[in-house]
Structure 1
Amino acid sequence: MSLQRRLLVYLLLCAPLVWAVALLASADRARAEVNELFDTEIIRLARQVQVTLDGLPSQPAAGRVVAPARSSGAADLDDLALAVWNRQGQLLLVDREGVQLPHRPQAAGFVDLVLGGEEWRAYYLQAPEGEWLVAAGQRLHERDELVWDLIGSQLLPWVLVLPVLLAAMAWAVRQALAPVRVLAEDLQRRGADDLRPVPEAQAPTELRPLLGAMNGLFTRIETTLARERRFTADAAHELRTPLAVLRAQWDVQRHAASEAERRHAEAKLGAGLDRLDRLVSQMLLLSRVDASERLARTEPVDWAAVVEQAVSDVLPLAERRRIELGVDWPPEGSAPFPVQGDAALLGVLLRNLLDNAVRYAPEASAVTLRFSAETLAVENAGPALTPEALARLGERFHRTEGQAETGSGLGVSIAQRVAALHGLRLRHGPGAGGQGVVATLMRGADVA
């Protein structure tokens, strides 16, 4: 069910219900007012009769009945009754035949009665010395008839106006929901790549949180699409060269004139496949960490296990280049760089830092991993990087010229992204004495 139809159903149900409650409240109030009016008139009638009693004999006269005159007014005098008794309880005066108010010598004030199967309301008035008892009563049907006449006079206009009121409410609901329809039509007209923010300034207050959330979603989608386009373009560009090299090396291997030439071509082909494998793996890993908005899990990181795995991964390269790997742990009792995060991703970060340090360190030198309570640092003993090289460090697919080792230029970018996901920052700079390169992981979001 649409929101508009739901609102209309609620209004169409609630409006008559509220109207009926108001009608009952009006009927109750009208009944109270009518009762008060007629009670006052009965009291006044009884007192007027008592004033005229001085002219009556103290003994009853046979057949003394005062017949009321007929009136053309709204009230029917047949619904009224009057009776007077003396001290001995003898009836002195009655104004009608057929219905007679009962004699109640001890009564004073209003009394509800049932006479002839009908409800009456009577008022008994005692004389100051007790010589007279006057009773004036009225059939309650007269009061009910007047109340319902009053309610009916209000009910008819309300019944006639109710359809107009419901139509007006339906129009009001439709107009109130017009901004929602405008928003839906705007979104329907957009193309798949149109992620412009929806204007919020003219939107109703109730829709602004929704529009803000939608605009935030559009921004995230646009960022994701831009990242995917950049990744696709980078992949197409970077994969073109190694594939062309592999094709050339395969042609050389097929047309080799001697066994030595063939083995040399096979070695080149194997190295090219290794480089392509590393490039594809790094690109897929970069795509995964780039797509992550937050960590899937967080737990205290066991650096001993992470370091063991990372060192094992880079050990073949270190042995080939005769690089000595060392780990400098903090003193006993001091926790090494406590971090809450994803141990697998932090292992990727550490492996990339160690791999870069080993690849670009001079052969037969050392790479050291140092822990403290606030930092994690990886340093090598190679030549310091120039300011230009430091500025471009982390740029994707960029590798410093003159490097003999193969690489994809993605390791630092992956490490920076993993650090950002953990609320950490990665800094590169020269080592002690201005020599070597130190990659330092520390707390605090990277704002550079």
Structure 2
Amino acid sequence: MGKNPNRSLQAILTRRLTLTVGVFWLAGSVLAAMTMYHEMQEAFDNSLVTTAYRYAPLIDEYLKDHKGGSPKEVLPSPAMGEILTDDHGDGDGDEELGEDYLMYHVRDGGGRLLLRSFNAEEEPFEAPLVEGFYNEEDFRIYSAVLMGGQRVIQVAEPLEHRREALMESVLAQFLPIALLIPVVIIQLIVVLRGGLKPIKRVRDEIEERGEGNLQPLEQDEAPEEISTIVTAVNRLMAKLEAALSVERSFTANSAHELRTPIAVALAQTQRLLAELPAGHAARKRAVQTEEALKRLSRLSEKLLQLARAESSGGFSPTGHNQDLGPTLNLVVEDIRRAGMEGAHIRFDADNLATLSANIDLDAFAICMRNLIENALKYGGDEEPVDIRVVEGHIVQVANGGAPVSPDELDQLTTRFKRSSNKADGSGLGLAIVEAIARNTKAELKLYSPRPDHADGFMAELRLHQS
């Protein structure tokens, strides 16, 4: 089954940590924004109160000097340093005279306008003449009642200014967060990648293990949580190794112990056949016995090969690639000399000199003998078995005959599984090759029909190179 990167532990932790940090960060920012909103409102309101009472003495002095003031009098602009009258602007607050957002009206106890700031409207505010705050549609107003109610200073601030200041403050807070989120994600990926290296190392070691390699996993640098898993896996592999060792030992010992009795029985049967005259009634049964003993002898030999394939590593003794051409040539010639029934072999030796891989010569010979014998047994009699070397590390063995169904093709490397075309084999040949390929990091691929053909079967052994 292929690896799904979206279901890796690193991806899951990155998504969840990013989501968790983002949610708490957003919640904290919203809380901070709400707190900032209330604090800024208090600060703005305090500014209105402070302005009203600080301006009170100055306004009192100004009104004394100007005989009590009039509705048309405008307090000098801080930006221009002069008194503005009707000839200087319309008093609607649109003039660009600086960043003075506060405006005020000075009224007497009866509500008559005595004085206004340069940026205030001509009409008095609708706020009542009582001490305290009042909200109009566009203004926040504070009324300060002075001189026993004979004078009222109403200081106003545009609500738009407050909203703008609040928005700028919120953006100043959220913008760095938005910029930091990608940085946090990248940092999480880097940190998690480094922290999960022990897990990936253990995973890779487990994936590389096969039936022929059940050695304990290394856990020198593994964290405590991973070390516990490694220990459990090592215990499981030790149990598997013991069980497989018992099975291999039983198979090998049984096959070995049977070789001598089978050989003796076969020799006695063949001697009996030599002594029986032609046409004797028992001769047919003796021939059948001889064939059965031969099949039993071949089966015991295959069982020994299987036990050896599953118990040994199968790599080259030097640990490096070695020349396999002479071995393949020797196997082909040996099968030809043996006179196996239907032993028609077409061997393309053009690339034989380039064949090399990191595999033991005996293990390679066992693989090739089984592949060739399998092709001879199950192939069509009218076509020879083709053997080719490709790319210096791939050996292809193809034969004719009826194609194998996809369901059967997937099961051919199973022990004692034979093609439905013929059933006189042991069903162990491809299982032996698969076991050796697995232990030597090689790959056995089966095709039916053959590539570029409508029938037949091809086994492709891709050898591992160091």
TM-score (norm. length: structure 1): 0.45
Q: Considering only CA atoms, is the larger Rg found in Structure 1 or Structure 2?
A: 1
